[in-house]
Amino acid sequence: MTTPLFCFILFYMRKSLKKICAACGAVFLFASCATTKLRPVYVTNTTKVQLLPTDAVKTEIDDYYLFEGVFGDKVFSSLAYLTMNSRETAVVMLSGLGVTLGEIIYDGKICTIDSAVIPDKLKPEYIVLDLQNAFADFGKLKNHYESSGLLFTESIENVAEGGEKATVRTISKGKDEIERIEITKKSVLVKNNLRKYEYRLTRSEE
């Protein structure tokens, strides 16, 4: 749950943080950035898919989120500024005062990461694909996974507290559910059953 202090900081720093993100992010990347050839994501241990093009995003996003996750015995949390549009997917991780802790950027050709927040074994392509699974066009995702022999589904379920409806997207191989994504107006919960990680993105409130 978003704390009052968190809301206070965002209320007074929201506009300036966008400029800070851009400026600090550029310096951060110039100083130390792991740029790699775009790698496919192994959705199962034997089945891999490439990331979708950046223009597969259904609705453009430009907002702050609280990013909380667990990967194995590693727990991580930070404020994140998420951008998804036809040109790029970018996650800038920030401290409560707007200091850049790291970022992931995907421009359709390469994926870059520089972060002390996210565990090294959790590759950036996996996070970008998870974001696409949540926010990209369902039809494009369905066709993309089916071409690799995987099932991608979408349904509406009562999974949130208070009976709030959630859009639930799943990736399956046969009877095995590999990943589940629960999407509400305020948050996105990703649970990867195979890789044993999960994280929640909660949209900030002013």
The per-residue b/e assignment along 105-134, b for 16 or more CB within 10 angstroms, e otherwise, is: bbebeebbbbbebbbeebbbbbbbbbbbbb
* H or E, element range at 105: strand 100-106
CA nearest neighbour of 98 among 28, 31, 32: 28
State yes or no: pLDDT of 60 exceeds 70.
yes
Distance separating alpha carbons of residues 178 and 168, to the nearest angstrom: 13
**pLDDT more than 90, % of the chain:** 57
**Predicted pLDDT of residue 31:** 35
pLDDT 10s digits, 70-99: 988 888 888 999 999 999 999 998 987 888
CA nearest neighbour of 84 among 103, 56, 111: 56
36: pLDDT confidence band, cut at 50, 70 and 90? low
* H or E, element range at 26: helix 4-31
The token duo for 202 is 């909660």
CA nearest neighbour of 168 among 160, 178, 176, 180: 180
Q: Which amino acid is at 78?
A: S
The token duo for 83 is 């951008």
CA triplet 1, 114, 179: central angle to 5 degrees? Answer: 55
State yes or no: pLDDT of 18 exceeds 70.
no
CA 36 to chain centre: 19
**Predicted pLDDT of residue 162:** 67
Q: Which amino acid is at 167?
A: T
What's the whole-number average pLDDT of the chain? 82
